[in-house]
Structure 1
């Protein structure tokens, strides 16, 4: 099964610094789009996360960045991996995704999850309730998003969110709506929400990933959902300093055999666009031929 590739940009601490960040990011996005990456994603964080660097490293606000990327690309789909539900009220989030979808010509994907970064949330005064409440808010947000994308203006009365009129004009261009991707592999809550509401899921390629897919399938059976209609995506690392193109292609083959449709991958030095030539000539064609 062919595997589409996505470029995941999670690090903006680049050699030329903030004064050239816009110009370099535009070049990265345009090049990735031109060589054939199906999608481009950014994190929805306001501080850098620990696995990438200290919190003081450069981080861009996600939806401003995606709007910028929309103007510098033509075909790549655009998304966050993934938005923390508590970072924006769902009515405003639906409006942001709709705006991105309309201005990009129907290229938005709604990536969302329950949020986890308490440090940055407390630091900038963002809402960060208990895990239980975050998942309750996530389910309500998913209902609101689907309703607003469909143009249903009926008032919403939930436990955590109360919206008087879900007016969303203009509506998204994507039909039936911008795809909803839920990130995370929690077996009791996250994967159940995937089965109930998502068009796509995103998992990590750990040794437990087959088990996670099996759990998702069981949830689909329970709620009466067709498991095969959910697009499976994985967060992979395209690091040409550590892996050869052959090794990356072999990894993609294994992921394809598990049923994954998309591999979102980061690059250590994404600002070096010369490496995209290897993807264009070797990796992308091989992934498409799987």
Structure 2
């Protein structure tokens, strides 16, 4: 079982001068201890369900570029990019740039954006949910076309590109991993089956994950896709350090369902969290799966 560290809170400590050094130290501890993937959120305001919107928040790809310069092994991605936040052609270019500068470690984590307060606050268009998913599918098509090396036109309902030039190309072959986040049964999991290299599920319970994977298997059959070719990952909402034995048992259940990577989120100072994770969790996680 691989472990991903999802860095979601920049408020511990909250002083702007401390944000960079804290992020740096956390990333280095994660890299040295064997964490496989490092991810950040794609938000501009902190999520109100978790903390006040006014708490510090950094732009995702700028942050990953900083982490890329500090590390050499961990994969780097956004969990997950909101489809409305960047034009698809520019998004493909951004992820390609991260892949080149990181030596082939970029992932494209993507999903339908949802946080309307930050969108309205910063002038990002707010469109109906159905349209967001239609735009998500076109975005996936555009990214794949740009990563294919074909310099052609693209004409969709929402996006029109006259020249999908992408130079330099991504280092990762055939392209950076496309991880589609979310468990929507009719649309999101269908897009995983059709376009995704990986899924990312919200692991509220092993039973819920099992049901989502069964539905993904059905979509794969419909799309003629090999279900086993899709990497299954999950964001583990259960905190690992409060009950390490219980958390590892929970992860073992996820592994039994086919999950090969779990992401965990610091619930305290991230340097302290990463240090304890390295000491108490990672040595035991290697035997799972």
Coarse TM-score class (shorter-chain normalised): over 0.9
* Cα distance, 1:105–1:140 mapped onto 2, change above 3 Å: same
Contact 1:238 1:267 in 2 (8 A): no
**2:286 aligns to what?**
288
After TM superposition, give the deviation of residue 270 of structure 1 in Å.
Answer: 4.2
Return the alpha-carbon distance in structure 1 between the equivalents of residues 147 and 7 of structure 2.
27
Return the alpha-carbon distance in structure 1 between the equivalents of residues 82 and 274 of structure 2.
30
**2:243 aligns to what?**
244
After TM superposition, give the deviation of residue 146 of structure 1 in Å.
Answer: 0.7
Task: Give runs of aligned pairs for residues 106-117 of structure 1, distance below 5 A.
Answer: 106-117=104-115
Count of paired positions: 286
RMSD: 1.3
Contact 2:13 2:19 in 1 (8 A): no
TM-score normalised by structure 2 residue count:
0.95
After TM superposition, give the deviation of residue 206 of structure 1 in Å.
Answer: 2.4
**2:270 aligns to what?**
271
Return the alpha-carbon distance in structure 2 between the equivalents of residues 271 and 157 of structure 1.
44
Task: Give runs of aligned pairs for residues 21-170 of structure 1, distance below 5 A.
Answer: 21-170=19-168
SS in 2 for 1:86: coil
Return the alpha-carbon distance in structure 2 between the equivalents of residues 271 and 144 of structure 1.
36
After TM superposition, give the deviation of residue 16 of structure 1 in Å.
Answer: 5.3
Task: Give runs of aligned pairs for residues 180-219 of structure 1, distance below 5 A.
Answer: 180-207=178-205, 208-219=208-219
Return the alpha-carbon distance in structure 1 between the equivalents of residues 202 and 18 of structure 2.
32
SS in 1 for 2:44: coil
What residue ranges of structure 1 are gaps of 5+ in the alignment? none
Return the alpha-carbon distance in structure 1 between the equivalents of residues 125 and 218 of structure 2.
33
**1:178 aligns to what?**
176
Q: Deviations over 1:154-198 (max 9, x none)?
A: 100000000000000000000111000000111110000000000
Q: Deviations over 1:212-251 (max 9, x none)?
A: 111100000001001111001101146355x222122111
**Worse-superposed segment, 205-214 or 89-98:** 205-214
**2:230 aligns to what?**
230
Return the alpha-carbon distance in structure 2 between the equivalents of residues 238 and 151 of structure 1.
41
After TM superposition, give the deviation of residue 147 of structure 1 in Å.
Answer: 0.9
After TM superposition, give the deviation of residue 285 of structure 1 in Å.
Answer: 2.9
* Cα distance, 1:16–1:141 mapped onto 2, change above 3 Å: closer
TM-score normalised by structure 1 residue count:
0.95
Contact 1:237 1:267 in 2 (8 A): no
